[in-house]
Every structure is written in structure tokens, then in C-alpha cells.
A and B are shown apart, each in its own frame.
Chain A
Amino acid sequence: MAQRTPSAPSRPQRGSSASGARLWTWLMLPGTLWMTGFLIASLVLVATLALGTTDPLGNPRFGLNFSNITALADPAYRIVLLRSLGYALIACVICLLVAYPVSYAIALHGGRFKNLLIAAIVVPFFANYLVRMYGWSVVLSDGGPLLRTLRAVGLADGNTKILQSGVGVVAGLVYGFVVFMIIPLYAALERMDLSLIEAGRDLYGGPLRTFLFVTLPATRQGAAAGAVLVFLPAMGDFVSAQLMGGPDQIMIGNLIQDKFFEGQNWPLGSALTMLMMAVLFIGMLGYLRRTRKDEAEATQ
């Protein structure tokens, strides 16, 4: 499908330009150090701490203690983990449905306003996530503008609520992360060869058939990338459930946050984090295999 995927960079001939290679090695150094220091080291820290204990001051201490791992068998975590998976998946699907028309309209019909329109979507997302979510919780609150309007036109009664419900949490997640879906979709649609659509029309495909069999498959990779970018943070999010959820909408991120703050139980929090990462990693494996297959097809 994606004929324009560039072929993988070829390996330089050994010895062809040793000084050039050394230069690139040095240029990689800061980034590598940064990643080592702040990403890998902290991950190692979390993994190690999952086996730790706490001292009487509540400070975490390294150790070799498997009680945090066995504590994960508690059914409470399974329920919350499954709920988080569910919310993240629903948020992902809604983001896709919301983002596709937006990206499509901007990429194919945006004309000279393309960049302006993308900026109009991206700039509000520079505002702090927490602040935006607080704003959102005011909009959705019982006395907020949305419900007041709905009540005025008779679509809601005094007991209707959006906050502290699953709808509220998913709405928060969609609002929080939809831009991560729009951008890769926009990039994919923008990059797409428009003559493909014309070809589809030439072969007597109606608008719908052309969209389904030409445009959609051509932007599949963008959608997949967007799905991953939305799914991962949505799964670990705790702000949406905190501000817009009730007792039955707690997500795994809330429990992890609780362990680190409320209970001062960093080791158990670390174990929960590792559990969540394991679940996400299994999900990612599917995505990675899929993209590898796509690439293999493309280079054939």
C-alpha cells in the first residue's frame, strides 16, 4: 500500500569514513545519556523498588521481598485494571471517530488554512493538562453550562449527571488525548498520494467505496500510531477519574497514585506500575508485529 515508505537506511561500508561515524557517535551521546539517566535508570529503580519495603518513616527501602508482587493477586486490582483497559479502549475508538473527520477535512480541504487550523487544535493543548481537566469538570458539573442548557431544552432533569459517571471519565480521556490522534492521522492523510483517490474514482468506485478501500487503508498506519499514542496515556491516567469519576470509576492510575502519596507505600506502587507496564507491553507487542508486517509488505 504505502509505496512511498523509504527503504531502510543502508549500513555504511566499514572504514569508508571512520571520522564521520565517530562524529555521529558523539552526537548521539547527549541523547543516550539523557535516556539512560532519566528513563532507563528510573525504570530500573521502579522495578527494583517493587521488591522493597518501607521503613517506619514510610521511606522506601530496597530489599528482597515478594509480598508486593503477591499482593497484586487481590481481585480489587484485576477489576480496576480491566476497567482501565476498557475506558482506554473506548476513549481510543471515540478519539478515532472524532479525529478522522477533523484530520480529513484539514488535510484534504484545508487549503492555505491548513497550518492555521492545525495550530488552532494544538495550541490549546499547550495549556497544562490538569488546568484543562479542571475546566472540563466545571463545564460538566451539575450547575455547569452544559447541564443547565440540557435542562432548559428539556433533555435532562434535575437528577441527570455527567460528572462521577463512566461517561464523564471517558469524556475527560477523549478530551485530554484526542490531539494525539489528530496529528498522526493528519500526517498520514497529508502524505497520501491524492492520485490514489482519483484512481479509485476512475475505477468506478463511489465516494464511500473509494474511502473504504483506498483512503482508509492508506492511512491505517497513522490511525494505528494515533491509537497507541492515545491508549498508552489514557490507560495510566488518573486525573480524569479523579476529577470526573465517582467511586465506581477508579482507574489503575488512581490506585498507583494512592500508593505513592496516600499510603506512602512506594514498593506496592512500584509493583502495580510494573503490572500495568506488563499489560501495556503485551498490547504493544501486537502493534509492533503489525507494523513490522506492514513494513515488510511495503518493501517487497
Chain B
Amino acid sequence: MSPEAPPPPTRRAVLAGAAATLGLTLAGCGFLPEDRNAFGDPDKPIDVKADGDLVYFNWADFVSPAVFDGFEKEYRVKVIQSNFDSMEGMAAKLNAGNRYDIIFPTAKWAQRLAAGRRLRRIDHSRLTHADAVFGRYHYFADPWYDRHSAHTVPFTMYKTGIGWRKDRIGDDLAGSWNDLWNDRARGKVFVLDDRDEVLAMAALKLGLGIGTSERHDLDRITATLQDLRPRLRGFSSDSYNNLLNGNAVMTQAWSGDMAAMLGQAKDPSVLGFEVAREGAPINSDCYAIPANARHPGTAMLFIDYMLRPANVRKNIEYIGYPMPVGGSEDVYASIVKPFPQCLVTPDDLKADLFFRNTSPKGEQARDTAWTHVKAG
């Protein structure tokens, strides 16, 4: 015999339940307007001293383990690591109230976070090695995403180009985004599964601004990409595996992934990487300290430690991305000797092909264009 069924709930119980549901719904989300300093006061100066273990939040494998070890030993703190796999994922964790001491947003996200008063002000005069960055790479002394780099210190830089298999379609491409339309690669071409990158590629080919959200521009961009679509094998940001396992003979690719392939491919000479003459989108990550960090002092020490020349060297060798630190250029150049186009020079920065934030309306227009490109 089955257990006795409970008595039917009273109306009061139902109402209480409904209220509890609504309460949970509202409490569980930060989607309501909040007060200015909900996440702590971003302008309070940071006392630079070891004030606890470092809660670190970054892409996986982005700092050499040897550098972490050295930092832990020298300052007698622990590094508590966690990773994100997208900027959106990072933002979601921050919005949920998680507290980290150091995070690594891209330029666009640094701007969003700083504008939202979510990043602590960083006093560069308290960083012993700041001059190697801001003195040599003037671009970062006053970048578009953060006035005077007041809340950030640049970390890595990368750009977008075309990676291809020389053993399948030959050594020489035209050095243009038109190469994606190359007949020899037809049916085995991938573009990144990334809205901004794909729209920018077509925009550059058409001579338009990479961040355009004008209706007319977006229509032309969509038409260009629809023209490429039958030649595509897919949208994928896994350039690394696609090229190595042969599913792709050509793919839109980030310079960092190509540099990583140099170390992993059995025979790197079958791979090529070029940057289009119409322009290569460029991007950078930076160090930032969230406004609600518990140990901002340790975070400052960590940034300074990471900027020491020996550590910059170790990190570049470990992750394969160039860093805007004067004196480290030769290290990177020797790693990417077969792909000199992976280098990011001050001149590249001047071209300023960064992905920027647009208005919510503009974002929506770009989003719709991307949906049409993807869904066909």
C-alpha cells in the first residue's frame, strides 16, 4: 500500500509558497539597479603589503607555475586559483558577488568594469616595474578603455589573422582576408565562433570600421559573410585542434593559439600564419583588482612581481603571448620565429583595431547581424 497522501495545502500555504518563490527569485539575482558602491569603494588607496592569500581568477594556464611558486615563497602567502572560460563567465561570477583579488579582463571588459565602478584604482607609482610598461608602450599610458590606465596594468596582447596548412594548400597566400575565399581551401575553412571577430573580418575586407553598428554597414557585412558561408566548414574557436587534426586547412585564428601550435605540432613547418593587410583586430588583457577584493595589497605585490623582467620572461615562454613590457620583445620573437606576424608592435597598437563597447542599441544590431550570419 502506498503511503498516505498529505492533506491538500491550505490557501495560506499556497500564498506563502508563492511569496517565497518570488522572494527567492528576486534575492537570487542582481538584476535590479544597485547603489554606486555596492561592490566597495574603488577609489580608496591600496596599502601595498601582503594582506592575505591571493585569490586569483584568470583563463586556465596563463601564468607559469614557477612564477606562482616564487611569489608564494617570497611573500609567504598562498595563491588560490580559479579559472573562467569566457569574459561573460567572469562577469557573471563577479556579479554574483564572488570576491577575487586579481582578475584579467580584456580591454573591452576592463572598460565596462571600470565604468561600473567595479575596479580598484591602481597607483602606478607604487609599482617598481611600471616604467618598463608605460614608458616603452606609450599606448597603454592612456588607453581608450581606461583613462591613464588608472584601474589596470596591461598583461598580454594578441591579434587575429589566418592560420593555414602549407602542406595542403601551398606556402603562399595573398596576405588578405580574401584568402578565406581561396578555392583551394573551399569546404575546409573555419572562422572563429566569435561575433566581433567574424563581423570585423568582413568589415575590414569592405573597408568599414570593425565595431560598426550602422544598419547599412551591417547589411553589407552580413551579405559578405553569406557569400563566404557555402565555403565554410564551420564556426569554431578551436583553431588549434582544427588545424592539427586536418578538419581545417585554413582558419581565422588568434596569434596566441598559433604560437601554442608551434610548440605542439609534430612538424610546425606545415603551418602558416599571416596577418591581413586590410588590418588585424588587436586585443589585450590586463591586470585588475576588483573593488570588493579582500586582499588588494597582495594583489599589488603580485602585479609588481609579475612585471619583474625574469618573471615576464618565464611567463612569455610558458603561455606564448607577447607582453607590453620593454626588454621582453626578443624572448617572444625567438619563440615565434616561424610566425613573425604573431608579434604585436607599438605600431600595431597605433592602428588601434580594438573591439570597443557600443551602446545597447548598437550591441543589439550587431547581435542580430551575427544571428543571421550564423543561422543562415
Among the 9-residue stretches A92-100, A192-200, A202-210, A244-252, the one with 4 or more Cβ atoms under 8 Å from chain B is A244-252
10 further A-B pairs in the complex, CB-CB below 8 A; given A14-B7, A61-B33, A164-B247:
A48-B25, A58-B88, A58-B91, A62-B31, A144-B245, A247-B233, A250-B374, A250-B376, A255-B371, A265-B364
Q: Which of A150-205 contact B (CB under 8 A)?
A: 159, 163-164
> Closest CB of chain A to B270's CB: distance in Å?
13
Q: Which of B350-369 contact A (CB under 8 A)?
A: 357, 359-360, 363-364, 366-368
B232 close to chain A: CB less than 8 A: yes
- Residues of chain A lying within 8 A (CB to CB) of residue B193: 242
Q: A54-B363, A56-B115, A143-B245 are in contact. Are A260 and B25 (CB under 8 A)?
A: no
Bound state CA distance, A49 and B359, in angstroms? 20
- Residues of chain A lying within 8 A (CB to CB) of residue B115: 56-57
Evaluate contact between A142 and B245: CB separation under 8 angstroms. Answer: yes
> Closest CB of chain A to B108's CB: distance in Å?
10
Q: Which of A28-42 contact B (CB under 8 A)?
A: 28, 32, 36-37, 40-42
Evaluate contact between A263 and B6: CB separation under 8 angstroms. Answer: no
- Residues of chain B lying within 8 A (CB to CB) of residue A17: 4
- Residues of chain B lying within 8 A (CB to CB) of residue A286: none
Q: Which of A11, A37, A58, A142 is packed against the most chain B CB atoms within 10 Å?
A: A58
A24 close to chain B: CB less than 8 A: yes
Task: Name B residues whose Cβ lies closer than 8 Å to a Cβ of A.
Answer: 1-7, 17, 20-22, 24-25, 28-33, 86, 88-89, 91, 95, 112-113, 115-116, 187, 193-195, 229, 232-235, 245-247, 357, 359-360, 363-364, 366-368, 370-372, 374-376
Bound state CA distance, A285 and B31, in angstroms? 33
- Residues of chain B lying within 8 A (CB to CB) of residue A261: 86, 88-89
Task: Name A residues whose Cβ lies closer than 8 Å to a Cβ of B.
Answer: 6, 9, 11-12, 14, 17, 20-21, 24-25, 28, 32, 36-37, 40-42, 44-45, 48-49, 52-62, 71, 74, 76-77, 79-80, 138, 141-144, 159, 163-164, 242, 245-248, 250, 254-255, 258-265, 268
21 intermolecular pairs with C-beta atoms under 8 Å apart: A9-B1, A12-B5, A21-B7, A28-B6, A36-B17, A41-B21, A41-B25, A57-B112, A57-B116, A58-B363, A60-B31, A76-B376, A77-B371, A138-B245, A142-B246, A247-B232, A247-B376, A248-B376, A254-B374, A261-B86, A263-B195
Evaluate contact between B367 and A268: CB separation under 8 angstroms. Answer: yes
Q: Which of A36, A37, A49, A263 is packed against the most chain B CB atoms within 10 Å?
A: A263
Q: A12-B5, A74-B368, A254-B374 are in contact. Are A45 and B28 (CB under 8 A)?
A: yes
**The 3 residue pairs across chains A and B that have the minimum distance between CB atoms:** A9-B2, A263-B367, A76-B375
